[in-house]
């Protein structure tokens, strides 16, 4: 796959099955999507050993008002910083478009939203996560 594409995303089921182990050991970057649940975060960080791997943590359905904020998560788990983690905020409008099969239309309407738009924080964070992943990939390939 490396020969033909710069990015290949493979979604796996949770857990450490034999297949997951093979995927993890061959991945350049592990993108872990997780929620703000303290118990889930602790279980992940206490049981997952992926030393030497680049990890990018995406906190989905993010609510900045929760005490388990991205700032608190980064300070508790020293392996995380602003370069290898990001958030995707909760957005009911996006979820509705996804559920109703209207995602492409929603994206075309909201992709260039400005700060006055209600969907701007969501679009801004999705864009930021994508840029951080591109940069992590670039650095992993010897880029400066």
The reported pLDDT for the residue numbered 143 is 58
Helices (H), 65-142: 70-76, 92-99, 103-110, 120-140
Its pTM stands at 0.84
The reported pLDDT for the residue numbered 23 is 83
Please identify every stretch of the chain with a pLDDT value under 70, giving residue numbers as ranges: 1, 49-53, 140-144
The reported pLDDT for the residue numbered 53 is 65
The reported pLDDT for the residue numbered 93 is 97
Chain position carrying tokens 């118990």: 39
The reported pLDDT for the residue numbered 58 is 96
The reported pLDDT for the residue numbered 21 is 80
Residues 6+ positions from 22 with CB-CB distance below 8 Å: none
Q: Which two tokens stand for residue 134?
A: 């591109």
Helix (H, G, I), strand (E, B) or coil at 132: helix
The reported pLDDT for the residue numbered 140 is 66
């Amino acid at each position: 796959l490396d020969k033909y594409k710069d990015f290949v995303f493979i979604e796996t089921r949770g857990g450490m099955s034999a297949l997951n182990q093979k995927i993890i050991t061959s991945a350049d970057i592990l993108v872990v999507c997780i929620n703000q649940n303290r118990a889930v975060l602790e279980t992940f960080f206490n049981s997952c050993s992926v030393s030497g791997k680049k990890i990018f943590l995406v906190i989905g359905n993010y609510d900045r008002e929760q005490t388990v904020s991205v700032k608190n998560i980064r300070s508790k788990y020293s392996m995380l910083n602003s370069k290898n983690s990001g958030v995707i905020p909760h957005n009911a409008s996006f979820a509705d478009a996804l559920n109703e099969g209207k995602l492409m239309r929603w994206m075309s309407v909201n992709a260039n939203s400005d700060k006055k738009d209600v969907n701007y924080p969501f679009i801004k964070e999705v864009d930021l996560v994508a840029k951080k992943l591109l940069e992590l990939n670039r650095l992993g390939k010897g880029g400066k």
